[in-house]
Amino acid sequence: MSDPATEAKRFADEHPILLQLPVLLNDHTGIIATSITVAFEVVAREEEAINEKAVNLYQALLRAFLPGKDLDALMAATSYESLQQKDLSIKLDKRFLRVQEAVKELYQQYSGDSENPLESYVNTLVALVEMFCEAMERSNTSSTLILGTFSKGLELSIEASITPNPNPISLLQLIERAGGEIASDEQNSANNKSTKGLKDPDLNNKTIEQQLKLLLKDIDALVGMQLVKQQLEELAQFCLMQEERKSLGLGVQKAGFHMVFTGNPGTGKTTVARQVGVMMKRLGWLSKGHFTEVSRADLVGGYLGQTAIKTQEVLEEALGGVLFLDEAYSLTPDGDDEDTFGQEAIDTILAFMENNRDDILLIAAGYHEEMLRFIDANPGLRSRFTRFIDFPDYCKGELEEIFVGMANDSQFTLKDETREKLPQLIDQTLRKRSKGFGNAREVRNLFEATLTRQAARLADLASRSIDDHTSIHADDLPLEDQMPKSGQELPSLAELEKLVGVEEVKQELRTLLNLVKVQQLRRNQNLPTADFGCHLVFAGNPGTGKTTVARILARELKNIGYCRQGQLIEVDRSGLVAGYSGQTALKVQQVVETALGGVLFIDEAYTLCEDSTDNNLGQEAIDTLLKLMEDHRNDLVVIVAGYTEKMEMFLESNPGLRSRFTKVISFRDYSPTELEEILVTMLTKEVLKLSPEAVEQLKVIFNNLAFSEKNAFANGRSVRKIYETLRANQANRLMESNPASLTTDQLSTITSDDVLPLLS
């Protein structure tokens, strides 16, 4: 017998399939390596005669199958004892048990060689490995071969050993029997491909323009998506030109057709993918043109090794047509480097795409940013998915057209007043739009809600005609009452009016809210409306009421129907900026998502552009925020706040900021009288009052407060500090007397003795 390492190298050189095994099998290479391990372990346990030569061959075979893998880790991972501890399915577990029995049978048949039974057995093992390699090279469709023809060959030996046979089972017979099954698989594959290249006869004897019109008829009938239609027309033109080149005896250019569809749900990705399959079948570029839709759950198994089997079976089912992989990015979850199952599915897909490049079209679909991350996760994906088609959200008019189309398809008629109210319904839906907006799916929900309301209306009628059943009235539309009905008062700003001072701020907010209300009234009357945002800059010193006003504004915007939730999310730089590049954008996105439907309040926003040593992390936060403000312009209000001078610097740091924050509301410092009024308000809430002497003392304090505190002066916050000091001084004074004799008036009065320490 030749040197074991040389023997293994010969296999690797003669069978290039070995170099592809890590891709084809990935984590379930253990199916093959374990079979080799089982063979030698059986001999070791029964004969206690594993010699150095056999061990060398065992290791050499593992190296040949898995080049570059750590041998010690591989041997440990493929140990039969450790394998038995894994949670394998019954099917696979039985397969391995049968492999063990087959090894015993083979060894017993060759153990009669008294000179070197082990060497005879090793030769048998080597031949079976060679059979596996040849089988893998002859087939690229059968998932049973992924499990391993090597294991299959060993199983067949069991069947041969059941019937007494004086002669050892012939390896040639094993190979022939296994080869017959392989040939059958290849014949089935050939039958499946027999129709490839046959162009639809309806396209014959027609001009290119006529053929394109026929090919794109159903796609052109879809609402909107003009750029999508243009790209698909270019694809059809390319295929037709290649056919013409072929007829002229010219070379045909091979181009990858695998595509990435990006966009929100309900934008037509699945519908278009189905039509692409039909189009490519008519062109003769796909043998079947059928449509197979899958997601991660359809590909990933529950244990190591099962994923490749499930994925391979899906791929074989899709062969000849379109495999539509929805939410493909879920195979590469962000931040999860240990998702070996997803990677196993991707590796299996890549190998199948390479081996069947001429008769399958893969379309991976999902959100835009997530799909870019998915493609970048593996160089093989980027090289195979060469066509990117973006599906934008439908505009207002297109969503209305989709609603009318659904009604027509269901044999419903919209009354004239219903058509007049429909834009209001769509606009109401668009105002709630956020990431993942369902587009046509949202319209489907609206249409179903409309039919529910229509059914309730019809149920109240004494009798119903065909026209009643097929007509949709304006009252059937699920419109929300965004504005008070006639005769009712508009939501008041009582809470805002109670604030001390800030008169200029109150007027600015009244104007803003009135603008919003008028736009809503115009919208209800189907009049043109101006698209303006409510993003604001609150500029002023600390303690001037910026956060308090922001909270009130968020509630008022909800009251008038502009914000659907009305929550206020408060953050500063630390809530937006992460420790390294790339993570900041994710952090900003998470914060914005919590604020959707309400108001995002960014305090000291200028700090995002103040630090020149932060590796542009603050700028990354600003850029991400601007993009998200545009993406969610109908479902988010952003208020940035800080010192007047520094907020001006903030707006100048990025042209996009000035264009989006068009309104600056200034919060001036409180006057001494207003500071005193704020203190009285705080005391009144706690049923406390000031003695006349205390009032006079506090006037002196407030007249000099800004000067005495200098840079520490914080307007309302300084008043809060005084308030807390007065409460503490009063408590200490009262406890020095007889607590049991204290009256209600004494417990409720702040005296000059409580104020005196503040004057020192």
| Three-state DSSP state, 261 | strand
Task: Check: CB of residue 12 under 8 Å from CB of residue 19.
Answer: yes
Check residue 539 and report its DSSP letter. E
Q: Is the pLDDT of residue 253 over 90?
A: no
Tell me: pLDDT of 446 over 70. yes
DSSP H helical segments within 356-390, as ranges?
368-376, 379-384
Rounded distance between C-alpha atoms, residue 233 and residue 227, angstroms? 10
Q: Coil, strand, or helix at residue 142? A: coil
Residue 33 token pair: 């390596």
What per-residue confidence (pLDDT) applies to 554? Answer: 92
Quick one: pLDDT at residue 664?
93
Q: Is 627 exposed, middle or buried (0-12, 13-18, 19+ CB in 10 A)?
A: middle
| Residues in CB range of 579: below 8 A, 6 or more apart | none
User: Above 80 in pLDDT, residue 247?
Assistant: yes
8 Å CB contact between 598 and 554: yes
For residue 120, pLDDT over 90 is answered with no
User: What is the model's pLDDT at position 745?
Assistant: 92
Average pLDDT over residues 281-293: 90
Q: How far is CA 596 from CA 299, 431, 631, in A?
A: 34, 11, 11
Residue type, 636: L
Q: What is the DSSP string of 681-738?
A: HHHHHTT-EE-HHHHHHHHHHHHSHHHHHGGG--THHHHHHHHHHHHHHHHHHHHTS-
For the stretch 263-284, pLDDT in tens is 889 999 999 999 999 999 998 8
Nearest alpha-carbon partner for 364 in 514, 263, 447, 217: 263
Residues in the chain: 760
CA dist 167 and 58 (Å) reads 27
Residue 537 has what DSSP assignment? E
Q: Which helix (H) or strand (E) holds 184?
A: helix 171-192
pLDDT of 571 over the 70 cut = yes
Identify the DSSP state of 55: H
Amino acid, single-letter form, for residue 379? P
Q: What residues contact residue 201 under an 8 Å CB cut-off, 6+ apart?
A: none
Residues 6+ apart with CB under 8 A from 64: 8, 9, 11, 12, 18
**Distance linking the first and last C-alpha atoms of the chain:** 104
The percent of residues above 70 in pLDDT, for the chain, comes to 68
Query: Secondary structure of 546-578 in the HEC alphabet?
Result: HHHHHHHHHHHHHHCCCCCCCCEEEECHHHCCC
Q: Which of 356, 348, 290 is nearest to 323 (CA)?
A: 290
Residue 458 has pLDDT above 80, yes or no: yes
Residue 613 vs residue 104, higher pLDDT: 613
- Report the pLDDT value the prediction gives residue 586, as an integer from 0 to 100: 82
CB-CB contact of 584 with 624 (8 Å): yes
Question: Which three-class secondary structure state does DSSP give residue 117?
Answer: helix
Mean predicted lDDT score pLDDT of the chain: 76
pLDDT at 39 exceeding the cut of 60: no
Determine which helix (DSSP H) or strand (DSSP E) holds 738, and give its type and residue range: none
d(CA 410, CA 451): 11
List the alpha helices (DSSP H) in 385-502.
Answer: 396-409, 416-430, 440-459, 466-470, 494-497
Residue with tokens 């809530």: 575
C-alpha atoms less than 13 angstroms from C-alpha of 91 in its C-beta half-sphere: 6
- Asked if residue 523 lies in contact with residue 529, where contact means CB atoms within 8 angstroms, the answer is yes
Kindly indicate the confidence band of residue 159, based on its pLDDT and cuts at 50, 70 and 90. very low
State the angle between helix axes of 672-685 and 692-703 in degrees (0 to 180), rounded to the nearest 10.
Answer: 140
Q: pLDDT tens digits, residue range 365-414?
A: 998 888 888 888 778 888 888 889 999 889 889 999 999 999 999 999 99
What residue segments make up the domains of the chain, in order of their start?
4-166, 210-390, 533-668, 672-758
Long-range contacts of 490-498 (CB under 8 A, 24+ apart): 490/517, 490/560, 491/556, 491/559, 491/560, 493/552, 493/556, 495/552, 495/555, 496/549, 496/552, 496/556
Q: Summarize the confidence of residues 154-175 as an average pLDDT.
A: 41
Whether 219 has a pLDDT exceeding 90, the answer reads yes
Q: How many other CB atoms are found less than 10 A from the CB of residue 342?
A: 22
Residues 6+ apart with CB under 8 A from 709: 718
Other beta carbons within 10 angstroms of residue 616's beta carbon come to 14
Question: Higher confidence at residue 487 or residue 586?
Answer: 586
Residue 571 backbone dihedrals phi, psi, to 5 degrees? -140, 165
Higher per-residue confidence, 188 vs 426: 426
Could you give the dihedral angle defined by the CA atoms of residues 268, 273, 279 and 283, in that order, rounded to the nearest 10 degrees? 150
Residue 684 has pLDDT above 70, yes or no: yes
Architecture of domain 533-668: 3-Layer(aba) Sandwich (3.40)
Per-residue pLDDT reduced to its tens digit, 126-148: 455 554 444 444 433 333 333 34
A 10 A CB-CB count for 694 gives 19
What is the number of other CB atoms lying within 10 angstroms of the CB of residue 654?
17
pLDDT category of residue 315 using cuts at 50, 70 and 90: very high
d(Cα 101, Cα 686) in Å, to the nearest integer?
86
- Confidence check: pLDDT of 760 > 90: no
CB contact at 8 A, 468 and 461? yes
SS3 call for 389: strand
Between vectors from CA 159 to CA 157 and to CA 160, what angle results, nearest 5°? 65
pLDDT band at 618 (very low <50, low <70, confident <90, very high): confident
pLDDT for residue 133: 46
CA angle 725, 728, 731 (to 5 degrees): 150
> Which amino acid is present at 680?
V
Answer yes or no: is pLDDT of 687 > 80: yes
Right CATH number for 210-390 from 3.40.50.300, 3.40.50.2300, 3.30.360.10, 3.40.50.10800? 3.40.50.300
Cα angle, residue 746 at apex, residues 741 and 752 outer, rounded to 5°: 130
Rounded to two decimals, the pTM is 0.53
73 vs 147: which has the higher pLDDT: 73
Tokens of 405: 């189309």
Q: How far apart are CA 725 and CA 745, in angstroms?
A: 20
Please give the CATH topology (third level) of the domain spanning 672-758: Helicase, Ruva Protein; domain 3 (1.10.8)
Asked whether the domain spanning 533-668 has the same topology as the one spanning 210-390, the reply is yes
Of the two residues 407 and 91, the one the predictor is more confident about is 407
SS3 540: strand
> Tokens at residue 53, please?
């030569």
Residues forming beta bridges with residue 325, ordered by sequence position:
294, 364
Among the ranges given (128-137, 250-259, 298-307, 515-524), the one the predictor scored with the smallest mean pLDDT:
128-137
Q: Which residues contact 511 (CB under 8 A, 6 or more apart)?
A: none
What pLDDT band is residue 19 in, cutting at 50, 70 and 90?
very low
Residue 198: which pLDDT band, with cuts at 50, 70 and 90?
low
**Cα→Cα distances 5→33, 54, 62, 124, 555, Å:** 16, 11, 10, 17, 77
Residue with tokens 């198994």: 301
Sheet order of strands, 387-391 included: 291-294, 322-326, 361-366, 259-263, 387-391
Q: How far apart are CA 28 and CA 30, in angstroms?
A: 5
| CA gap 731, 735 in Å, rounded | 6
How far apart are alpha carbons 129 and 427 in whole angstroms? 67
